[in-house]
Amino acid sequence: MTQVKNGDKVRVHYHGKLNDGSTFDSSEGRAPLEFEVGSGQVIKGFDDALEGMKAGEKKTVVIPAENAYGEASEHNMIEYPLADFPEEMKPEVGMELHMSDNQGNNFPVVIREIKADSVVLDANHPLAGKELTFDIELVEII
């Protein structure tokens, strides 16, 4: 039986959980996720877990932060002037917003702190710094 290798296209079902057991993502109720192994379409640890698997095989893998979304970085914390918020908006800690960079790319941020004249925005990926557990089922190698 054929085993997954780098460059193969695959279809997988998955269930992603945090250390507290809560689900952050799952393919349940959807079509299997389809991608090319090793192409960078999924996190490195997920790619690595598939190599050597056979169609129909299931496994559970624990992926450390460095092979998932990386560690949270202070470089991704942005201090933004409170005066630049729209007048009708009342910023609150935990509020999710979207910003644009100089190239027009949109990215999500979360308000982490409100100071006298500014707001601290966190632009880290929501799963940065977290160890992730995936239950994976290799549906097929295409």
CA distance 30 to 66: 28
Tell me which residue of 40, 42, 34 sits closest to 61, measured CA to CA: 42
Tell me which residue of 40, 35, 27 sits closest to 9, measured CA to CA: 35
Q: Where in the chain is the domain with CATH 2.40.10.330?
A: 74-122
pLDDT-derived band of residue 15, with 50, 70 and 90 as boundaries?
A: very high
pLDDT-derived band of residue 1, with 50, 70 and 90 as boundaries?
A: confident
Q: Where in the chain is the domain with CATH 3.10.50.40?
A: 9-70+127-141
104 near 93, Cβ under 8 Å? no
Mean pLDDT of the region 3-13: 97
CATH of domain 74-122: 2.40.10.330
CATH of domain 9-70+127-141: 3.10.50.40
Tell me which residue of 99, 57, 50, 106 sits closest to 78, measured CA to CA: 99
CA distance 50 to 43: 11
Q: Is pLDDT at 17 greater than 80 in this prediction?
A: yes
Structure tokens that stand for 94 in this block: 């935990």
- Within 8 A by CB and 6+ apart from 61, the residues are 45, 46, 49, 133, 134, 136
pLDDT-derived band of residue 101, with 50, 70 and 90 as boundaries?
A: confident
CA distance 53 to 10: 11
DSSP string, 87-136: TT----TT-EEEEE-TT--EEEEEEEEE-SSEEEEE-S-TTTT--EEEEE
Q: For 117-140, how does the pLDDT look when each residue is reduced to its tens digit (9 = 90+)?
A: 999 999 999 999 999 999 999 999
Mean pLDDT (the chain) is 96
